[in-house]
Structure 1
């Protein structure tokens, strides 16, 4: 074993990227929670939090914990200034503009069109012996859905997906610094692409609303372009990774697909089940803040200027907040998971992501009850955004011989 491998094996964070842990990092999270719930990590140069209460406290306190690292004296590249990285009061103007744009859309018509497309795509895939649920279903649906909401044509998957993955890889640059510069460049390219929408806006959709109200919004044009890039990228990644993770949970947990079908639509039904799938294996596994005023958490004083890394995946499995957290309980309620964040930076499109997942998984469970995994899901080597690289499945009912085996 090389010295680098030795370091990775001993480091409680680096070892989360070990191929043996990628499929299920939650026992490693539990060990961290039990032994060092507030841990100083030298390589990250950051405090690492794993308990639900501590993570929630940081997410909901933008006075003492900043998303805008300029408040701690950091020099932030212009392509990184967006609705995701600004704090109030700058954050308030861009968030309100986007929220007003969200509310102005005809989401009912969008969802009706989505439901039809989901049924048609799954029916087409059912004719194949097997298919990659990630590349053939989750990624194209995620991109079509977010761009339909924005009101713009979907870019080519062959161009967009590698670009998006480069941005996601950069989220782990604290562990692998070589990923930072390519991610900054990819963000800038996506922001330039999104900026073209404002120069020639569509007739309908979120972009049309934002373009019509940009001049009176008080939002800096560069921040607006970056924020539209963030909506495109975050919407796509959240939707596609949620679909992949949730489908993997349903198709690799005995009886889960049938249990999901039995939940049915409406309150206490599919939405509740999707919430549990998010808690169980959320796409967003980590988030970061910087402390701007000395604060005590878990008996440890975090000093102003100290970075703080929130392991939300660990928080979502905290037994102090969730009974039997390692079990997939589709009727779990209440379910205060942190999969969409909390506070000022809570996910703008959370309800849309839940609706998309409910449509896809509900159609899968109802129209294709024989759906099953052909191979184990293969995870990408990402720690901040958790997702699948490939997952081969079939929608064809199992033969008698396959059932016996």
Structure 2
């Protein structure tokens, strides 16, 4: 930690990994946004953007800013070629196949199973003095919900969670290069696991749909396997981290549960995403010289978008540091925009709405027992542990 602190004193990006900024990066984002909104960061070898307008411009311009780094002459490992990393027109076939599969699912039945399970699990946890909301609620719920949607059994948490976290750690390999190779290996293992679904597909769920239509889709089988891995992994991580971040905001902000009930789940969760989104950063590579924010970004230059900073930009959001659960409209970038907007955004919102709505209505006494503990991830923001109780405070605890 001393080595990190020493390095971070001269590095506005690396300092985000310090404990005080892991718990609340938004003041540091604000300073960076106001002093150097289009920053060349030498250690990353990348431009860093923090304003909403600049980030939105890049996200919605796949002609000039690529997700597929092969367009800038980079070699991409085969396990990384998926719906997340390809650009149109190659991206179009796999995205359409997945979107058609999403639309074909019985959402009402899926949501009904989710709501019943949420109520049952929270009722069990209410019998405990306290519990870890991350490991005992957010992670198992997210994995069960995503795999139910896919139509396959949930993998063992003890195997899947460390694998998933290794992939997430690799997203910060620009700062910590030693995390890159383990992440590539983990992606490959998850892709092999997902490939097994296609060898013996279920008769229902997204996997069943994709397996039935793959031969006529024009999608490369390896890209399809990698994309199913991405749906599993991104769906799980986005949903579980959103649920943890949102619950922390809800249970540590005075009056928030009542405001949640008044605003309604959809509007309230949208604001919770803006307020503390799981996806804090995204990356593109410039393929055509482009003027942005008063700077010319050259072809071949990487661009890092600090979406967490953009979501707190006062030029786009009134009182951005306030949690306003009735905020509308809410044009946050928490699920991206453009060709690579998150496929499963509605699922993550539905899961969070079910859990937080049940907490706010069935367990109004829910409260934090300890401060939330954040993982040292800068690209995907999430909690390592968050001890809570569903039991109302006693008179003695209230006085304390």
Q: Aligning the two structures, in what range does the TM-score lie when normalised by the shorter sequence?
A: over 0.9
What corresponds to 2:300 in structure 1? Answer: 305
Shift of 1:351: 1.1
Unpaired segments ≥5 residues, structure 1: 268-272
Instruction: Specify whether residues 129 and 211 from structure 1 end up closer, same or farther in structure 2 by C-alpha distance, changes over 3 A only.
Output: same
Shift of 1:6: 2.1
1:171-210 to 2 correspondence within 5 Å? 171-210=171-210
The answer to whether the 8 Å contact 2:9/2:15 transfers is: yes
1:4-403 to 2 correspondence within 5 Å? 5-264=5-264, 273-403=268-398
The answer to whether the 8 Å contact 2:5/2:15 transfers is: no
- What SS does structure 1 have at the residue aligned with 2:305? strand
1:339-394 deviation digits (Å, cap 9, x = unpaired): 00000000001111111111010001100000000000000000000000000000
Whole-Å Cα distance in 2 between the matches of residues 173 and 112 of structure 1? 39
Instruction: Specify whether residues 265 and 231 from structure 1 end up closer, same or farther in structure 2 by C-alpha distance, changes over 3 A only.
Output: closer
Instruction: Specify whether residues 28 and 200 from structure 1 end up closer, same or farther in structure 2 by C-alpha distance, changes over 3 A only.
Output: same
The answer to whether the 8 Å contact 2:173/2:179 transfers is: yes
Deviates more, 1:39-48 or 1:348-357: 348-357
- What SS does structure 2 have at the residue aligned with 1:40? strand
- What SS does structure 2 have at the residue aligned with 1:54? helix
- What SS does structure 2 have at the residue aligned with 1:174? coil
- What SS does structure 2 have at the residue aligned with 1:21? helix
* RMSD of equivalent CA atoms: 1.0
Instruction: Specify whether residues 4 and 356 from structure 1 end up closer, same or farther in structure 2 by C-alpha distance, changes over 3 A only.
Output: closer
Whole-Å Cα distance in 2 between the matches of residues 4 and 354 of structure 1? 35
Whole-Å Cα distance in 1 between the matches of residues 5 and 327 of structure 2? 40
1:265-292 deviation digits (Å, cap 9, x = unpaired): 677xxxxx10000000000000000000
What corresponds to 1:270 in structure 2? Answer: none
Whole-Å Cα distance in 2 between the matches of residues 56 and 2 of structure 1? 36
Whole-Å Cα distance in 2 between the matches of residues 2 and 324 of structure 1? 35
Shift of 1:2: 6.0
Deviates more, 1:180-189 or 1:256-265: 256-265
Q: What count of residue pairs does the alignment treat as equivalent? A: 400
Shift of 1:262: 2.5
- What SS does structure 2 have at the residue aligned with 1:266? helix
1:26-54 deviation digits (Å, cap 9, x = unpaired): 00000000000000000000000000000
Shift of 1:263: 2.5
Instruction: Specify whether residues 343 and 266 from structure 1 end up closer, same or farther in structure 2 by C-alpha distance, changes over 3 A only.
Output: closer
Whole-Å Cα distance in 2 between the matches of residues 155 and 283 of structure 1? 23
The answer to whether the 8 Å contact 2:266/2:353 transfers is: no
Deviates more, 1:316-325 or 1:344-353: 344-353
After TM superposition, the score normalised by the length of structure 1 is 0.98
The answer to whether the 8 Å contact 2:5/2:18 transfers is: no
1:283-331 deviation digits (Å, cap 9, x = unpaired): 0000000000000111000000000000000000000000000000001
Unpaired segments ≥5 residues, structure 2: none
Whole-Å Cα distance in 2 between the matches of residues 192 and 205 of structure 1? 19
- What SS does structure 2 have at the residue aligned with 1:326? coil
Whole-Å Cα distance in 2 between the matches of residues 55 and 379 of structure 1? 25
